[in-house]
Amino acid sequence: MAKLYFRYGAMNSGKSTALLQAAYNYEERGQLIVLAKPRIDTKGDQTIVSRLGVTRPVDFTVDLDDDIYTRFQAHRAAAIRDTSRDVSCLLVDEAQFLSTQQVDDLLRIAVREDVPVLAYGIRTDFQTVAFPGSRRLLEIAHSLEELKTICRCGRKAVFNGRSVDGRFVFDGDQVAIDGVDVTYESLCAACYLDESGDTLATGRRSAVPLDAGLELGPDPDFS
């Protein structure tokens, strides 16, 4: 049985570079792969773009309501028809932008289709709140691997700061990719708290009562 892998890290931790390296490793050994990414990631459009300048087109992109299982099966069938070889791996970039259902389908692809799935993405947004796709991957992936990078102070970076016109901001939409004046910086916990005035999640997640027990409902952020 194949497995679902989630390789995550802060911004600039080399996620896309690692994905492209994994793709190269498979193909160097004569294996067929399928590359995919969410369409919401406008960076590179139909292309995976690494910080080192290495690029590669994907086989398909998905919207939030697309059936990623069916899309993969179609590409797999075409590969077998055209090359008489099966697909050895599905690699997904920017997996944080997938829906919960799409992540569940990645697990089904790995288990039911016996094809390893390597998903790469960011764990949390600029307010330290998990993306829906990342949250589900952390819950169900067979294997979790953190890709590390460093903060400007030299410590390990774990959070992502959003800067607009050169100033850090902690309010706004969760997704804002490559805006004209929007940049991101990987920060350690200490530097993030310094910049945010000790604020985490900006009130998006209220404290849970200690006696809440099993009566907890779904997280309103992602329901």
Residue 215 lies in a domain: no
- Cβ(169)–Cβ(187) below 8 Å: no
Backbone dihedral angles phi then psi of residue 123, each to the nearest 5 degrees: -75, -50
178-190 per-position pLDDT tens digit: 555 788 999 999 9
- Is residue 211, in this structure, part of any structural domain at all? no
Question: In this structure, are 102 and 60 located in the same domain?
Answer: yes
Domain that holds residue 173: 159-203
Q: What is the pairing mode between strands 182-187 and 159-164?
A: antiparallel
* 123 and 183 assigned to the same domain: no
Does residue 150 register a pLDDT over 50?
A: yes
Give, in degrees to the nearest 5, the angle at Cα 160 between 155 and 165.
115
Locate 196 and state its tokens: 């945010």
DSSP 62-103: E-TTS-HHHHHHHHHHHHHHHHS--EEEEEESSGGGS-HHHH
**Residue 113's domain is classified under what CATH number?**
3.40.50.300
Q: Using alpha carbons only, what angle is made at residue 222 by residues 218 and 223, rounded to the nearest 5 degrees? A: 50
pLDDT band at 46 (very low <50, low <70, confident <90, very high): confident
Hey, which residues are catalytic here?
94
Instruction: Say if residue 25's pLDDT is above 70.
Output: yes
Do residue 37 and residue 142 come from a single domain? Answer: yes
Q: Which of 75, 50, 51 is nearest to 61 (CA)?
A: 75
The answer on pLDDT for 120 being more than 90 is: yes
pTM (2 decimals)? 0.85
Q: Do 163 and 83 belong to one domain?
A: no
Under the banding of pLDDT at 50, 70 and 90, the label for residue 222 is very low
Higher-pLDDT residue of 32 and 177 is 32
Q: Does 24 show up as a binding residue in the annotation?
A: no
What single letter denotes the amino acid at residue 71? R
132 shares a domain with 23: yes
In a domain, 153, yes or no: no
